[in-house]
Structure 1
Amino acid sequence: MAQDLVVQRPEGLYCPAGDFFIDPWRPVLRAVITHAHSDHARVGNGHYLASAAGEHVLRARLGDIHLQTLAYGERIVHHGVTLSLHPAGHVLGSAQVRLEHGGAVWVASGDYKVAPDPTCAPFEPVRCDVFITESTFGLPIYRWCPDADLFAGINDWWARNVLAGRASVLACYSFGKAQRILSGIDASIGPVIVHGAVEPLNAAYRAAGVGLPDTQHVTEVKDKADLRRALVICPPSAVASPWIRRFGDAGTAFASGWMQVRGTRRRGGWDRGFVLSDHADWPGLLEAIAATGAQRVIVTHGSGPVLARFLGELGLRAELFETEYGGDAVEADTQEPPA
């Protein structure tokens, strides 16, 4: 029986034939990184391999690392394992990892979404024998609305707050979610202010050629009246900090896939909740899995048991990997917002 191309180890997902890890959660010698969210990309590894499209963001988050990059679709061979990276559609630079060895093809998805997003390359289905998939929103209740409807709602909420003379504070994850929101809003409604945690990622996106509207730090606003017309993009943690006080009586909203669940917005104390996620919803997960043609599917973080059971009922060989993904300690979309 052929050895599995990817197995579980205490350090993370390991490719024995190639002697490297994919998104390890403990320091290792060689790490292939699917994207720069901090539950997948951590400091301390000896050598990093990631997509060229994600270089700016990865360096912005991890600093001075020994980084090798690959263009999407470019192939390299390491210890006899052919490796290539393919767009995952999750955030800028996100990649699926394709491994080929001994006549078998495995793909590790990392995090992904199939919905269109102008700030990153779209998800690319990769045919394989075994597909390792995330399942962050792996329940049938999670179904995203079209972006046009979502951003119409955000713009309307912002415009109504402008008429009421108060700022619109929109909390979201600083990397990926913030830039996707910036790309979809109507910036003619008012000034756009971003938190200090967001702007370095904006700079990395702009350096990668992604167009974003002009943004300001709050300290750069000269006319204080602009604070009452502004859309303020910040991490959720900032809403509970003294930083938020300078905006006075502001409307608050949270943008997350968790807003799909009735009661989550109320428990968090938000005025509005916008259902926006950089992960695939239930139909997106099933669509992506089917497109791979894989007969064996290994499910990682999220609602893994539910998705695995459903895939088994479809006749696929479905299994689970226990991972430490979804544990971003800052403000990841993979964590429910605090009550």
Structure 2
Amino acid sequence: MSLLELTKSGLYCPQADVYIDPWRPVEMAICTHAHSDHARWGMKHYLAHHDSAEVMKLRLGADLSLETLGYGEKLVINGVQISLYPAGHIPGSAQIRLEYGGKIAVVSGDYKVEDDGLSEAFEPVRCHEFVSECTFGLPIYKWESQSEIFNQINSWWKENATAGRNSVLFAYSLGKAQRIIQNLDQEIGEVYVHGAIWNTNQALIRNGIELRDVKLVTADLPKSAYQGALIIAPPASMNTPWMKKFTPYQTGICSGWMAVRGSRRRRAADRGFILSDHADWEGLISAIEATEAEKVYLTHGNTASFGRFLKEEKGLDALELKTLFGEEDES
């Protein structure tokens, strides 16, 4: 007996009559986290972790029909015990654990195994069925420690400030931007953020998440205010008129894709920093092995090659799932 099936609306648990991260409107959606490829508009009711509440309201509407749980809390629907466990991806990200008739399934959503000091650290959950992303499911993806990456970012910022240049760093507005803010050396200069990041920060703060103070980029600030500053902006603002106020500047981009040769040049950034909110190759393998799952379902990413590896090298029953995940967070 499987607790999960893939339908045209998304992953479905028929025993509980609930969907996990559905992409079409349904009666009840359990959301692993608040990125828009996992928490979509149009569901009648939502269930998510407490720390996702304010961001989901910001993105999907203040009148959202939303119920929240803490990590480890249990909710029973039609005899199915539902609980949430940390995924380590962004604040409020959760793995969804379903238990029914002696069987346990876990839908992990997106996850990373390094503790970033902001999100609740990833917690392996033993189960019979495990649904895993594999965005970076190739051996070429091996992350350096977070501390090393932030040493690189701070050194780049300091070098720019010393040379009279401003630093514009592109990072996704939910999760990665806040992770960067928490790890910058603010002795170097002021930190400013784009409005999309500012609004996300305020939502997270309303949820009780502590973030360091930053300043909002506004139209009335003089150009001199940004001298030697680091400005964090979403990737969509790259090469737009919004950037003119920071001249002279250098640009950097934070993404796991920076591990691929040529990615920085294709995105027209001066520097690339390999910083991802997803697990790398070894992280995926360690997370999957820790579940002791009998069957592994693979979603967005290198599903075919990673699935072959799990079958041939690890002896696991691995299946690909064609989903609509992986569209938003720049990884």
d(CA) in 2 for partners of 1:262, 1:213 = 33
d(CA) in 2 for partners of 1:218, 1:322 = 40
1:119-164 deviations in Å (ceiling 9; x for gaps) = 1100011000111101111111111101111111100100111111
Between the aligned residues of both structures, percent identity stands at 51
TM-score, normalization by structure 2: 0.97
Kept after mapping to 1: 8 A contact 2:89/2:277: yes
Kept after mapping to 2: 8 A contact 1:172/1:233: yes
Aligned equivalent of 1:207: 206
Aligned equivalent of 1:38: 36
Aligned equivalent of 1:47: 45
Gaps of 5+ in 1: 335-339
State whether structure 2 residue 13 is matched by structure 1 residue 15: yes
Kept after mapping to 2: 8 A contact 1:37/1:175: yes
Amino acid at match of 2:315: G
Amino acid at match of 1:327: E
d(CA) in 2 for partners of 1:230, 1:23 = 38
- Secondary structure in structure 2 of the residue aligned to 1:198: helix
d(CA) in 1 for partners of 2:58, 2:143 = 30
Aligned equivalent of 1:337: none
How much does 1:291 deviate? 0.7
Of 26, 29, 46, 1:28 maps to: 26
Change (3 A) 1:315 1:186: same
1:215-234 deviations in Å (ceiling 9; x for gaps) = 11222775632312110000
* Number of residue pairs matched by the alignment: 329
Kept after mapping to 1: 8 A contact 2:89/2:110: yes
Kept after mapping to 2: 8 A contact 1:21/1:32: yes
Kept after mapping to 1: 8 A contact 2:88/2:121: yes
How much does 1:76 deviate? 1.1
- Secondary structure in structure 2 of the residue aligned to 1:59: helix
Aligned equivalent of 1:272: 271
TM-score, normalization by structure 1: 0.94
Name the Cα RMSD after superposition: 1.2
Aligned equivalent of 1:257: 256
1:282-339 deviations in Å (ceiling 9; x for gaps) = 01000100111112111111111111111101111111111000122xxx224xxxxx
d(CA) in 2 for partners of 1:204, 1:262 = 36
- Secondary structure in structure 1 of the residue aligned to 2:104: strand
Kept after mapping to 1: 8 A contact 2:223/2:246: no
d(CA) in 1 for partners of 2:187, 2:224 = 16
Aligned equivalent of 2:324: 324
d(CA) in 2 for partners of 1:291, 1:111 = 16
Kept after mapping to 2: 8 A contact 1:72/1:84: yes
- Secondary structure in structure 1 of the residue aligned to 2:51: helix
